[in-house]
Amino acid sequence: METTTAKTKPAWVDAIKPYQVPDHKKSIWQLINSLVPYLLIWVLMYYSLRVNYLITLALAFLNALFMMRLFIIQHDCGHNSFFKSTKLNDLLGGVLGIISMTPYHHWRRTHAKHHATAGDLDFRGIGDIYTMTVDEYAALPWHRKLTYRIYRNPLVKFVVGPTLLFIVLHRFLLSKDADKRERRSVLYTNIALAVIFAGLSLWIGWRETLLVWLPIMVFGSSIGVFLFYVQHQFEDTYWRWHEEWDYTEAALRGASFFKMNKVAQWFSGNIGFHHVHHLSPKIPNYNLERAHYENEIFHQVETITFFTSFKTIFLHLWDEQTHKLISWTEYARMQRQRAATPA
């Protein structure tokens, strides 16, 4: 596979340029067909409270999918790829950040770091789910091993963790080196949320507001984190120490092609073409599919389906010897073999 160097421009740089130009008509239509249904379903959820809460929960799941689609638009704004204007991208991204409870400018910087360091063992835990190597985990005392196992538990990774991240942790500025714009982003997002929640509570009641809003956030954050997780944490993913790390390799081998049906692809904003996105974040989400199928360079990447994605849930440690992500069972077997081998 072609390696990116400072002296040689990779062939893909010119190949993807046509897909990097935003189409304002497509962008505006995507915003309309995502935001309007989200607001309408929110209203339907409120009225469904008078009938049966199971209906409310079903609508919450549907609305979580629309929220995820809105987050993808916010995500494109963060990459300055949804509109040609940076100011317009930042304005829309900030507004959508209120819906996703994500301070836009603060999130944008950490996400940019994720793109710049994905698959780099020297920069783990920046905008992604932290992953230890086999040797690092083996050297830990028992209580830290337990902490890591709890952290990697599916219930924590996909339900408890995402919910706490979006509802609680995003309310605070956790980066010590954050600039003024990031600080204001956290502050203004929190103020906007407080005003909206206070207004809704006075209008329809705090209990009703909570019963509608909370399940949307739980479902939406869980689904979103799961999609993000499985597209980086598959068995043959790419991890290297910084001195060996390569941007092109990390994009094409460390990000998968999550092949979905058309409905799931629509709601997820084409994020399944994650390898294309990591190679060029400047491509708007609605151009990712075309970029994938029209360029052979993207056809040899790891392909994940809905059913095979669940295997990734049980992979937790990076084995530097085999260059694979392994499960707890495989780790235990490896340790038994090491113990049985004479020094």
Q: What is the pLDDT of residues 15-60, one digit of tens each?
A: 899 999 999 999 999 999 999 999 999 999 999 999 999 999 999 9
Assign 3-state DSSP to the chain and report helix, strand, coil percentages, each to 5: 65, 5, 30
Tokens standing for 114? Answer: 């994720």
Instruction: Report the SS3 class of residue 102.
Output: coil
**Domain positions in the chain:** 22-340
Which is nearest to 229 in space by CA: 280, 289, 157? 157
Q: Are 73 and 92 in contact (CB under 8 A)?
A: yes
Tell me the C-alpha distance between 318 and 93, whole Å: 34
Q: Are 317 and 326 in contact (CB under 8 A)?
A: yes
Q: What is the pLDDT of residues 180-223, one digit of tens each?
A: 999 999 999 999 999 999 999 999 999 999 999 999 999 999 99
Q: What is the pLDDT of residues 327-342, one digit of tens each?
A: 999 999 998 888 887 7
Helix 24-48 and helix 53-78, axial crossing angle in degrees, nearest 10: 160
Report yes or no on whether pTM surpasses 0.85. yes
Residue 4's pLDDT band (cuts 50, 70, 90): very low
Residue 175's pLDDT band (cuts 50, 70, 90): confident
pLDDT above 90: percentage of residues in the chain: 86
Tell me the C-alpha distance between 267 and 265, whole Å: 6
**How confident is the model at residue 126, as a pLDDT?**
77
**How confident is the model at residue 218, as a pLDDT?**
97
Determine the number of helices (DSSP H) and then strands (DSSP E) in the chain.
16, 5
**Quick check: 11 pLDDT over 80?**
no
**How confident is the model at residue 9, as a pLDDT?**
67
Q: What is the CA radius of gyration of the chain?
A: 21
The residues facing 331 across adjacent strands are none
Residue 8's pLDDT band (cuts 50, 70, 90): low
